[in-house]
Amino acid sequence: MAVDKDTELIEDFLGGNDSAFNKIAAKYQQKIYWHARRMLGNHIDADEVTQEVLIVIYKKLKDFKFNSSLFTWIFRITTTRSLNYIKKRQAKKFLFFLDEEQKEIKTTEDIIKNVEDKEKMESLQKVLNKIPAKQREVFVLRHFDGLTYEEISEITGKSTGGLKANYFHALKKVKELINE
């Protein structure tokens, strides 16, 4: 049913109703943001990726072939952008010798206002940030976004066997980090 609604919205948008895109964005923006946030670890970067993803969707929606669901397509863009952003950030850190202090300054802006929630989120991010990016991606998609291996496979293009192995190693790392 959700897919049909998406198809309707896409056709409406492609038919010239620009405001139909607002409905698509409203439906997926939180999913995009939280995936990016868990992958990147702070609001500023997650916001940047979320906006980038929405811009890409807006520009590329005319090329959407309906070969997959809109949800899968959007998540494919989101995961790719998030991983690319991590790579860019690492390169930047390496080139400009950014230290942890500079990183902390960057993370002061946030949409989480409640102090307790903020602390919980920070402790989660400390763990997630220590998991290698590709394992983190599978862990976030399965554990937090609630996707099945088959859905993740469709998004990432990896085999379910490989994804299971990644998830296994991510879990092992999480356990080690929590027990530290």
Partner 1 sequence: MNNEEKILKYFSDNLTKEEKITFEKEIENSEELKLEFEKMEKILSNLKNNSEAEVDDKYFINLMPNVRKRISKENKFITIPRLAIILPLVAVILITSFIINNSFNSGVSFSLNDNSEMLSEVLEEASVNQLSEYLDLNLTGGETDFAVLSNEIEVDEDNLINLGKSTLKSFDEYELINNLSEEEVGEIYNKLLKTKFL
The least CB distance from residue 169 to partner 1, in Å, is 9
Rounded Cα distance between 170 and 160, Å, is 15
The least CB distance from residue 80 to partner 1, in Å, is 18
Comparing CB distances to partner 1, the nearer of 105 and 111 is 111
The least CB distance from residue 103 to partner 1, in Å, is 20
The least CB distance from residue 94 to partner 1, in Å, is 28
Give the distance, in angstroms, between the CA of residue 179 and the centroid of all CA atoms in the same chain. 27
* DSSP structure string for 30-71: HHHHHHHHHHH-SHHHHHHHHHHHHHHHHHHGGG--SSS-HH
The least CB distance from residue 15 to partner 1, in Å, is 19
Comparing CB distances to partner 1, the nearer of 29 and 93 is 29
Comparing CB distances to partner 1, the nearer of 70 and 121 is 121
8, 28, 46, 103, 111 from 95: Cα distances, Å = 46, 34, 22, 15, 29
- The tokens describing 90, both together, are 């690492």
- The tokens describing 127, both together, are 């763990």
Rounded Cα distance between 139 and 9, Å, is 31
Three-class DSSP category at 161: helix
**Interface contacts to partner 1, rule CB under 8 A:** 22, 25-26, 29-30, 33-34, 38, 47, 50-51, 54-55, 58-59, 111-114, 117-118, 120-121, 123-124, 127, 143-144, 149, 164-165, 167-168, 171-172, 174-175, 178
Comparing CB distances to partner 1, the nearer of 108 and 114 is 114
Comparing CB distances to partner 1, the nearer of 6 and 145 is 145
